[in-house]
Amino acid sequence: MKSRVLFLFYLLSSQLINADIIDVYHCFGNDRRLIVEGRVLDPREFDTTKKDDGFIKNIWRKLGHLINDERKNSEILMQIEEQIFHSKTDDEGYFSFDVNSSAKEIKLTLKDQKSITTKCKPFIPSATKQLGIISDFDDTVVISDVTNRLKLIYQLLFKNYKQRTVIKGMREHFAKILKNSPDKPLFFITGSPNQLHHVVVDFLKYHNFPKFTLMTKKIHGNKSYNIFKQQNYKQEQIEELISLYPQFSWVLFGDSGEKDEQIYHTIAKKYPDKIEEIYIRDVNSGDLKRVK
């Protein structure tokens, strides 16, 4: 009898330990439209990240973020006050909502396991005309060495977010630009995959960047992007923000390592009244130069 009780306890505790989670990547909108994207995963537990962690621990932790067990074809409920919206995870566990609604807080629930739930507070700014920032991440606010594949792999796998080098002055530059903007609209658009969303968030919070919205890339599943091709991805995301927030004019930040300057000038030409300034950081000299 005792052995049966212990076995039952083991099964129950295993289910609790391995319970899925709802991971939210994007949660923002305006007074008419709400965009929420995420993934249902079997969570992985990691030790607290430390500045003196060795490279083996860093690699193990990073692979844990990249390799996931997902919940496919599961129904997700999104509750906004009395409204309920439905979505379904794809074969990689991803879900998305793009609805005609607005909310200060939303609740997401896995339909067949009501105990699995999470909440998020969308970024929904006022209609006030103001200045916002759209910034790249790698080699714009953190040293990533994107132009050198070996160095890039070293930065991504061998270092944790507390060990990576922040680019000095960027946080202060952002805060100065947003000083007179009531909603402090700061968006980071990165080619890093959704699996590393929390790693990027942890880095930005660790270095005390102003409140931000992070947009990471979906690299597999339905409607995904090629992990190595950034131009179309970045341009589409920026144009989405321009359309979503017509009250904003934007300052764009990027670097010379990829095609940020080309992308930004293309957007400025298409939306001349929406782009106030463009800044590009030279990855060789480290200098930040205004190019518009």
Are residues 6 and 114 located together in one domain of the fold?
A: yes
The pLDDT, as a whole number, for residue 44 is: 66
66's CB contacts (< 8 A; 6+ apart) are: 193, 195, 196
CA dihedral 141, 192, 42, 40 (to 10 degrees): 110
Indicate whether 52 belongs to any domain.
yes
The pLDDT, as a whole number, for residue 9 is: 32
Are residues 115 and 147 located together in one domain of the fold?
A: no
State the pTM of this model.
0.87
All residue ranges of the chain with pLDDT < 70 are: 1-19, 43-46, 68
Q: How far apart are CA 251 and CA 183, in angstroms?
A: 15
Are residues 234 and 90 located together in one domain of the fold?
A: no
How many domains in the chain? 2
Question: Which of 60, 85, 120 finishes a domain?
Answer: 120
The pLDDT, as a whole number, for residue 13 is: 35
The pLDDT, as a whole number, for residue 4 is: 39
> Domain holding 49: CATH number?
2.60.40.10
Are residues 246 and 141 located together in one domain of the fold?
A: yes
Are residues 164 and 281 located together in one domain of the fold?
A: yes
Are residues 74 and 205 located together in one domain of the fold?
A: no
Q: How far apart are CA 237 and CA 263, in angstroms?
A: 11
The pLDDT, as a whole number, for residue 86 is: 95
Q: How far apart are CA 155 and CA 283, in angstroms?
A: 15
Find the length of the chain: 292
Which position has the token pair 């946080």? 171
Are residues 7 and 77 located together in one domain of the fold?
A: yes
The pLDDT, as a whole number, for residue 121 is: 94
Are residues 100 and 136 located together in one domain of the fold?
A: no
> Domain holding 233: CATH number?
3.40.50
Domain of residue 101: give its range. Answer: 2-120
The pLDDT, as a whole number, for residue 27 is: 94
Question: Which of 66, 88, 120 finishes a domain?
Answer: 120
Are residues 165 and 247 located together in one domain of the fold?
A: yes
Are residues 22 and 115 located together in one domain of the fold?
A: yes
Estimate to the nearest angstrom the gap between the alpha carbon of 13 and the chain centroid: 32
Indicate whether 125 belongs to any domain.
no
The pLDDT, as a whole number, for residue 154 is: 81
CB 43 within 8 A of CB 20: yes
